[in-house]
Amino acid sequence: MGWVTAKVATYSLSRKVPRMRTQSLHGPSPVTTFGPKACMLQNPHTVMHIQDPASQRLTWNKPPKSVLVIKKIRDAGLLQPFKELCMFLTEVKNLIVYVEKKVLDDPAISDDENFTVVSKKFCTFREDLDDISNRVDFIICLGGDGTLLYASSLFQESVPPVMAFHLGSLGFLTPFKFDTYQSQLTQIIEGNAAIILRSRLKVCVLKENWEKMARVEEKGIILTNGDLESSRNTMQYQVLNEVVVDRGPSSYLSNVDLFLDGHLITTVQGDGLIVSTPTGSTAYAVAAGASMIHPNVPAIMITPICPHSLSFRPIVVPAGVQLKIMLSCEARNTAWVSFDGRKRQEICHGDSITITTSCFPVPSICFRDPVNDWFESLAQCLHWNVRKKQNYLSSEDEDN
């Protein structure tokens, strides 16, 4: 995108602007307030209506007072870092610490008498039961990429800034090392950090539920051959990596229709389909043959899984489009869908999956900056373009 001075869809920094999905192919304008107190630092010297992603930096309207600590469950190696971090946040930084109840129920934590004194000060919550969206100022993740995906799923609208420590297996989305957590956290609390807005997908699943309505005779006898009556059930999800539609346990090919802005563009016949964000391009999508896209690129990726066609290649579409996936009329079996690897459910005839770019990105705190962090992850986690270097050819060798 070049330098823009004409009329364009802008990234508004005002809380009062309605969060409406735009019709621009650039995609919706993401919110720039994250949780109760965090927002993006404005750059008064910019000449772009759309702020340069390289200049996106974290700032606070008010000093942060609360933090959510997400710990990978059932990982004994994280117990000591978790305890050490929570004590630092509570005793040194005087922050209100939110922790998931099932984390504190771990006997390795609950049976620690020394740590119990500190943990009594924590605020606890339960997934899908307690709403903490307006209570948390920022998030700390201890684990791998899955921990960050889980943290994203807890917030269906505005997401507080996320600081992710690499304490898992891959760590593509977790740039911070735990060794120097105290100095790094101090910088974050002071508002000295770059951030990258990782776009999410807003997914709406519409399920057509068919029920047989029993007919009752005058004598009260219930007849079973009644008419069918449909009811609709709608579920919404915010997805950071990808939506995966697959054939499930069936031995038949999946057969699903893919619509873009209301127009049928193709029918997918194969093992399934991946619809991913640029962040998700380095996850399942790249394993299925897709390109890797930097998270600052506004786009949606469509990647077939083992298509029964030699010409079905992965494609990238503008972030502003609306996709819809439905079972084809000729489909021999149902399909299954999952969201960031969770909430897996069956898709039947008449059901639909609508996917658009969400207005609520995940503000991920960078170790250095969005570009360097991404290429560092490509090199360290995926060993991108690792090859033994070709030997230098001297002048004598050229003569021979």
Q: Is 28 within 8 Å of 357 (Cβ atoms)?
A: yes
List residues bridging with 229 in a β-sheet. Answer: 211
Measured distance CA(96)–CA(241) in Å, rounded: 30
SS3 content of the chain, % helix, strand, coil (to 5): 20, 35, 45
CA angle (337, 338, 340) in 5-degree steps: 150
Bridge-based pairing state of the strands 323-327 and 352-357: antiparallel
List residues bridging with 195 in a β-sheet. Answer: 365
> What is residue 194's DSSP assignment?
B
Residues whose CB falls within 8 Å of the CB of residue 365, separated by 6 or more in sequence, listed in order = 58, 161, 162, 163, 164, 176, 188, 193, 194, 195
| Catalytic annotation present for 145 | yes
Half-sphere CA count of 68, side-chain side, radius 13 A? 29
List residues bridging with 161 in a β-sheet. Answer: none
Q: Is 40 within 8 Å of 13 (Cβ atoms)?
A: yes
- Return the closest-CA partner of residue 305 out of 268, 354, 343: 268
Residues whose CB falls within 8 Å of the CB of residue 41, separated by 6 or more in sequence, listed in order = 56, 57, 58, 59, 191
Cβ-based burial of 299 (10 A; exposed 0-12, middle 13-18, buried ≥19) = buried
Active-site residue (options: 137, 145, 246, 257)? 145
The neighbour count for residue 244, using CB atoms within 10 Å, is 25
- The full length of the chain comes to 400
Residue 355 is encoded by which pair of tokens? 């996917």
User: Which positions are catalytic?
Assistant: 145
